[in-house]
Amino acid sequence: MYNRDGSAEYRRYSLRTLTNRFTQLLDHPLTTSDVWKILPPTTSTSPTHWVYGCDGKWLGRVGVFFIHRNVTTKENLWWSFMKNESYESVRHDLAALTVHLDGHDPAGAVSDWKGSIVSSVASYFGPIPHQRCLAHVDREAKRLLPKNSPYDATQKLRYIASLLIKVETQTDPNIWYTYLSRWEKQYGYMLTEKTIAPTGTTRVWWYTHGNLRRAWRLLTFDHVPFFVFLINPLIPKTNNALEGVNSNLKQKLGDHRGMSVTRQTAFLFWYMAFTRSKSNQDVKKLWVYWKSEFSR
């Protein structure tokens, strides 16, 4: 999609004309249900197994744009704008998506392991294999364990965390767990060290190495979903297919800086609609439907 200046240059329309036309489109974007009606995804009819992925992009602090995707075929299935990433928000989307899928549910899932997503997937798709995105774990571990930390414990745990994304074979997890066990024997005492608060402060004490504790918990609590991909080859170990979509959306919004959140949301709805189109004929179907419903 062109930005306004680019469109004026290449299509020789005045900015006033383009503004008027774009305003109509942004005031009345096609809903996800509309797009499904016009251009139903191949996922809804294909007999092949597929993997579900979900991620969200925050638009400032106002709300989050959710994308639900077939990560196997890289097909965007559903999208919405919600105020937050709560269970109710994800549940609302999956309730609509499962109705449209009409029983052709995914064989697995991959996500960043937010509680709302994990619970919603289990509620609507049942006990399917669910991979925890290792790229998210790696990124969070690096945030908690700075590269230039003066503590050997931090440096070594950071190294162990970096190995997680490199796991490829059935024996690799055992080796990784061995590294964690050795680290705990050598540095585990640091996880319980406390700092006594000075007299007169509201707090009595706190853990001296808070981020180290958080990183340890990240790597050891609820770790079974780290290696689902080894048992289910169809499921990827990262949610990178959706990360790429989010990066693209960020770039597109950057090309159109200055829009209100309402207009940003409408723009993203249009952008996602166009990702469903595969030919000029598909684009024409979207245009004809929009004119019949909204054009005056």
Nearest-CA neighbor of 109 among 234, 294, 204, 231?
234
SS3 291: helix
Average pLDDT over residues 76-92: 95
CATH architecture for the domain at 31-132+239-293: 2-Layer Sandwich (3.30)
SS3 134: helix
Please determine, for residue 8, whether its predicted confidence score (pLDDT) is greater than 70: no
123-175 pLDDT, tens digit per residue, is 999 999 999 999 999 999 999 999 999 999 999 999 999 999 999 999 999 99
**Is residue 283 a contact partner of residue 277, using CB atoms and an 8 Å limit?**
yes
d(CA 185, CA 201): 34
CA distances from 111 to 23, 107, 129, 131 (A): 35, 14, 11, 7
Q: Where are the domains of the chain?
A: 31-132+239-293, 134-223
With a cut of 80, say whether residue 4 has pLDDT above it: no
Neighbours of 128 (CB within 10 A): 17
Quote the pLDDT of residue 2. Answer: 47
- pLDDT exceeds 90 at position 24: no
Say if residue 51's pLDDT is above 70. yes
Q: Would you place residue 30 in the very low, low, confident or very high pLDDT band (cuts 50, 70, 90)?
A: very high
